[in-house]
Structure 1
Amino acid sequence: MSLKNRINVVRKQATKSVTKKLLKQQSISLFNPDEIKRVLITRPNHRLGNQLLIMPLIKEVHLQFPEAKIDLYLKGNLGKVLFENYEYIDKIIRLPKQHFKELGRYLNSWFSLRQHSYDLVINAEASSSSGRLSTKVARAKHKFFGYEREMKLFDAADVAHISKYPIYSLRYFLKQSLVEKSLPDLELKMTGKELGQGKQLLATYADSNKPTICLYTFATGKKCFSKVWWNHLYLALKKEYPDHNIIEALPVENVSSLDFKIPAFYSKNIRELASFISQTSLFITGDCGIMHLAAATNTPTIGLFNVTVKAMYEPYNVACLGIDTNQKSAEDICQILRTSTEKLNFSTPII
Structure 2
Amino acid sequence: MKVWTDKCAYLSRRGREWLERAPSREVQRILVIRQCAFGDYMATRPFLVELRRLFPGAHVTLATVSTYRYAVPEDLIDELFVQETQGGLGAQWRSLRSLTPFDMLFDLADTARSRLLTFMTSASIKLGFPYRSLSNRLLYDVGLRRTNYHYEAEVLLDFLKVMGHKPRYPLDFAMPCHLGSDAERIIAYFPFASSSDKSLSFDAWRQLIEAAASTHVDYQHVLLEGHKAEEGGEFLAEVVARQGNVSVQPRMDLERLAEWMTRVSVLVCGDTGVRNLALATHTPTLGIFFRTLPYRYWPRYENFHEAVFLRDGATPGKADILHGLEELLLRLYPERELPRPSDEDGL
**TM-score higher than 0.5 here?**
yes
Q: State the SS of the aligned residue for 1:263.
A: strand
| Aligned partner of 1:287 among 267, 271, 292 | 271
Partner residue in 2 for 1:185: 171
Structure 1 residue 72 displacement after superposition: 0.2
| Aligned partner of 1:272 among 256, 261, 282 | 256
Sequence identity percentage: 20
Asked whether 1:42 is paired with 2:26, we answer no
Q: Is residue 81–residue 271 contact of structure 1 (8 Å, CA) maintained in 2?
A: no
1:242-263 CA distance string (max 9 Å, x none) = 1111111111224237434342
Q: Is residue 237–residue 334 contact of structure 1 (8 Å, CA) maintained in 2?
A: yes
Partner residue in 2 for 1:215: 189
Q: Is residue 186–residue 295 contact of structure 1 (8 Å, CA) maintained in 2?
A: no
| Aligned partner of 1:129 among 106, 109, 112 | 112
Structure 1 residue 108 displacement after superposition: 4.5
Asked whether 1:307 is paired with 2:316, we answer no
1:139-164 CA distance string (max 9 Å, x none) = 211111224388997799x8543333
Asked whether 1:71 is paired with 2:71, we answer no
Asked whether 1:226 is paired with 2:201, we answer yes
In 1, distance between residues paired with 2:203 and 2:186? 22
1:280-329 CA distance string (max 9 Å, x none) = 22111111112112222232122211111111233687233322153643
Asked whether 1:245 is paired with 2:220, we answer yes
Partner residue in 2 for 1:334: 322
In 2, distance between residues paired with 1:271 and 1:236? 31
Partner residue in 2 for 1:6: none
| Aligned partner of 1:323 among 284, 308, 325 | 308
Structure 1 residue 185 displacement after superposition: 2.2
Aligned residues: 299
**TM score, norm. by length of structure 2:** 0.72
In 1, distance between residues paired with 2:260 and 2:213? 21
In 2, distance between residues paired with 1:133 and 1:317? 35
**TM score, norm. by length of structure 1:** 0.71
In 1, distance between residues paired with 2:153 and 2:187? 26
Partner residue in 1 for 2:152: 162
In 1, distance between residues paired with 2:282 and 2:33? 25
In 2, distance between residues paired with 1:43 and 1:242? 43
Partner residue in 1 for 2:232: 255
Structure 1 residue 333 displacement after superposition: 2.2
Structure 1 residue 40 displacement after superposition: 0.9
Over alpha carbons, which structure has the higher Rg? 2
Gaps of 5+ in 2: 1-8, 137-142, 241-245, 337-347
Q: Is residue 211–residue 281 contact of structure 1 (8 Å, CA) maintained in 2?
A: yes
Structure 1 residues 28-39: aligned runs within 5 Å: 28=16, 29-30=19-20, 32-39=23-30
Partner residue in 1 for 2:98: 112
Q: Is residue 315–residue 322 contact of structure 1 (8 Å, CA) maintained in 2?
A: no
